[in-house]
Amino acid sequence: MTTRANNCRQIAERLTAPGKGILAADESISTMSSRLEGVGVAPTAENRRTYRELLATTTGLADGVSGIIFCDETLGQTFGDGRPFAEAVSELGILAGIKVDTGAKPCPGLPGETITEGLDGLPARLAHYAEIGATFAKWRAVLTIGDCTPTWGAIGANANALARYAAACQEAGLVPIVEPEVMMTGSHPITQCEQVTATVHAAVRQQLSLLNVDLAGIVLKPNMVIEGEDCPQQSTPAEVAEATVRVLRAWPADLAGVAFLSGGQAPERATANLEALQNHQTPWPLTFSFGRALVSPALAAWAGDQAHVADGQAALSVHVAANAAARRRATAQSA
Ligand code: 13P
């Protein structure tokens, strides 16, 4: 095995270490700007920087967070004391990651569906990110359940892009987080989410294999299998966990780990589901890589007020601790 491949395996193991998960703070400039505006904060680069520094400097964050995913803008910024973000978080004992896709764009030929872009020039960008201290990357594919979607075209195109990205990351010595997200939008039942998620994962596995991606050097970031947000019948955590693990069982045992996105679930529900997932024995760790389920309460508590930095950090701490505790229970069970 090459040194880079070995390095990827070690980083992937650190990312999914017992009792820890990943913090997704990589909202694009436009998404972050609208979230700031939503709490009355001007959408400036400095406010986006301040908010990310608030998250990263939360006391004790490294106890429950192995890595933080940032976007390109943040990785080019510095903490207030002048240290670049990647260097500063690494000094806190946290791995720095970078979202390298350039977003889900309308897919020509497939009305209403998207293809995630960002492959052009990717190797050079990955080399740059590795040089400034990133150790892992993220790429998100978006599949939406509708009357006739996702189509085979969208599933295949997105799976291929995910695999090309993953192969490029491993060649650059960065761990790819492979994120095929089946969205919660819609009124579909949990059974439909299970069937679509299984189909999407099968396509992703096939493409990863065709491009010789080492599964022990990736982290899979899937949606939990859950009903659509407008479905009248809400599944219990036990039902979500069972359906999710049924889909995941198709992944080989050498996969380094699984870190779920929260996908718009309320923070408490995402945590309850993560906890229920730990009741299943699996060959790979099941952890979190939540965005909104971790940061939304923190953003609301801070709301751009310097006097409320500690409140924002306390809100983040509470949710990180709850999810890390859910994972620790699993570690205790299997010990
Ligand atoms: P959510 O947990 O808010 O879905 O975000 C995770 C993420 O990284 C989306 O790409």
Chain segment 57-90, per-residue pLDDT in tens: 999 999 999 999 999 999 999 999 999 999 999 9
Atom of ligand 1 nearest to the CA of 292: 3
d(CA 154, CA 174): 26
Which residue carries 């007020």 as its tokens?
305
CA of 22 from ligand 1 middle (Å) equals 10
The pLDDT value given to residue 151: 98
- Compute the residue count for the chain: 335
Residue of the nearest CA to atom 10 in ligand 1? 140
The finding on whether 291 has its CB within 6 A of some atom of ligand 1 is yes
Which residue carries 């390109």 as its tokens?
72
pLDDT interval class at 304 (50, 70, 90): very high
pLDDT interval class at 229 (50, 70, 90): very high
Residue 30 has pLDDT above 70, yes or no: yes
Which residue carries 């990647």 as its tokens?
86
Task: Judge contact between 98 and 127, C-beta under 8 A.
Answer: no
Q: Is 264 left (phi over 0), alpha (psi -120 to 50) or beta?
A: left
Which CA distances in Å does 325 have to 115, 219, 307, 328?
36, 20, 29, 5
Which residue carries 């299984």 as its tokens?
198
Among 317, 294, 253, 286, smallest CA distance to 18 is for: 286
Task: Judge contact between 24 and 74, C-beta under 8 A.
Answer: no
Which CA distances in Å does 207 have to 108, 128, 164, 169, 197?
21, 26, 8, 15, 15
Q: Is 45 helix (H, G, I), strand (E, B) or coil?
A: helix
The residue to mutate among 185, 290, 294, 295, having the most atoms of ligand 1 within 8 angstroms of its beta carbon, is 290
The pLDDT value given to residue 185: 98
The pLDDT value given to residue 209: 98
Which residues are identified as catalytic?
Answer: 179, 221
CA of 150 from ligand 1 middle (Å) equals 20
The finding on whether 292 has its CB within 6 A of some atom of ligand 1 is yes
Residue 334 has pLDDT above 60, yes or no: no
Q: In terms of pTM, does the model score above 0.85?
A: yes
- CA 204, 264, 57: angle at the middle one, nearest 5? 95
The finding on whether 140 has its CB within 6 A of some atom of ligand 1 is yes
Cβ of 255: how many Cβ atoms within 10 Å? 23
CA of 152 from ligand 1 middle (Å) equals 24
